Amino acid sequence: MILIFAPMATLSHEAFRRLIHRFGGCSEYYTEMIHASSLNTNGRFEKYYLLNGPEPHKIVWQLTDSAEKPIVEAVSRVQTLGGIGIDLNMGCSAPAIYKLGAGISWMLKDRKETQSLVRSVRTQMDSSAEGCKRLSVKMRLGEESFTMEDLCSFADMLIGEGVNRLVLHPRTKRQNYGRPAQWKYVEQLASYIRAKHGTAVSVIGNGDISDRKSLEEKMKTAPSADGFMIGRSAVQKPWLFAELENSLSFTADLYELFCFFSDALDEFQPPEFRETRMRRFLAYYCNNFSFSHHLRTKLLKSFNISYQKEVFLSYFESQKSEQYIRIEKKTDIDTL
Ligand SMILES: Cc1cc2nc3c(=O)[nH]c(=O)nc-3n(C[C@H](O)[C@H](O)[C@H](O)COP(=O)(O)O)c2cc1C
């Protein structure tokens, strides 16, 4: 079973990957989107985006920008850093990204422009004997008026230019997380690709996987998918991949995990990023607790680490049973 950690700005960095790794890791780790132009100009913080631990061989570098040239240059830079491959972000629909002409804009602009980008990226990747060779594209369904025919022809174009992996987050440009991801489209795309391109191209589904039950539902809806990508729920439960793999029983100590993550932020992120990274992490991590809103509000009052540790400790004083989560290996279910 291929289970992948999703690219998420401010979350998919080495400090967080180390937390997942504590529980045995996952199949692949996409990085948060790396802005190609900033990387190429050797911005002050770029070295942090290029950290590839703790399992460098499982890294997929996700790049974003609005133009071909900086992306191709960035490819030449990250390609030599190893890992599985490079991913082009064609799915991000955050207004700030979309308005720049990046993210999902690549699905919507003149097809020739996107085709040229992919062709140039593939040529760049093939020009060196070294380095990662898998090229993927992460995308959404497109505009609200998209048709499956459009999506499949877009996928054909990408594959024709050398893309070997498609990741589909089956929501349209405007759909937010309030509505469920539409996994029937993952199945439609994956079965189309399988019939037309065989096994040379893999299709990964992404969206709303939060536990074994939801994964099984997605597997049922999209049996042709080659793997599954998980974002927000893996931040809430860094042990989620281990839980889904069902290969061992373990106990997660949620206080100790918070302390570990905090130390990892100090080690693998610049001090200037500490607050934004911690804030985003807590937005999901606090969902583990029954008084999540109250706890989160308290934690966000100060980013002083002694203060935050104190807040957690006093929370666990009153909610003792919530500090530990026991995951039992189940013997009565099939291995995924
Ligand atoms: C905070 C946040 C940041 C994200 N950043 C990116 C990103 O950098 N690149 C990308 O392709 N998708 C990004 N996404 C989308 C996720 O990769 C994923 O498609 C989405 O969260 C749905 O998966 P989930 O339901 O498992 O969270 C982001 C999502 C969130 C919540």
pLDDT tens column, 292-302: 999 999 999 99
Last residue of a domain, one of 203, 229, 245: 245
CA of 6 to the centre of ligand 1 (A): 6
Ligand 1 atom 15: the closest Cα is on which residue?
Answer: 8
Task: Classify 274 as helix, strand or coil.
Answer: helix
Q: Report which of 280, 289, 295 is spatially closest to residue 324, judged by C-alpha positions.
A: 289
- Predicted pLDDT at 202: 98
- Examine residue 333 and state whether it is found in any structural domain, yes or no: no
- Examine residue 91 and state whether it is found in any structural domain, yes or no: yes
Last residue of a domain, one of 224, 245, 266: 245
Q: How far is the C-alpha of 273 from the C-alpha of 269, rounded, in Å?
A: 6
Total domains in the fold of the chain: 2
Range of the domain at 38: 3-245
Cβ neighbours, 10 Å, residue 233:
17
6 lines ligand 1 (CB under 6 A): yes
Last residue of a domain, one of 227, 245, 263: 245
Q: How far is the C-alpha of 294 from the C-alpha of 271, rounded, in Å?
A: 26
- Predicted pLDDT at 335: 60
- Asked if residue 288 and residue 211 are part of one domain, the reply reads no
CA of 232 to the centre of ligand 1 (A): 7
Tell how strand 250-253 and strand 324-327 pair up. antiparallel
- Predicted pLDDT at 247: 86
Q: How far is the C-alpha of 284 from the C-alpha of 276, rounded, in Å?
A: 13
- Predicted pLDDT at 191: 98
- Predicted pLDDT at 163: 98
Question: Ligand 1 atom closest to Cα of 33?
Answer: 8
Q: How far is the C-alpha of 185 from the C-alpha of 180, rounded, in Å?
A: 12
What's the predicted TM-score (pTM) here? 0.98
In this prediction, the residues of the chain whose per-residue pLDDT falls under 50 are none
- Asked if residue 122 and residue 18 are part of one domain, the reply reads yes
- Predicted pLDDT at 331: 81
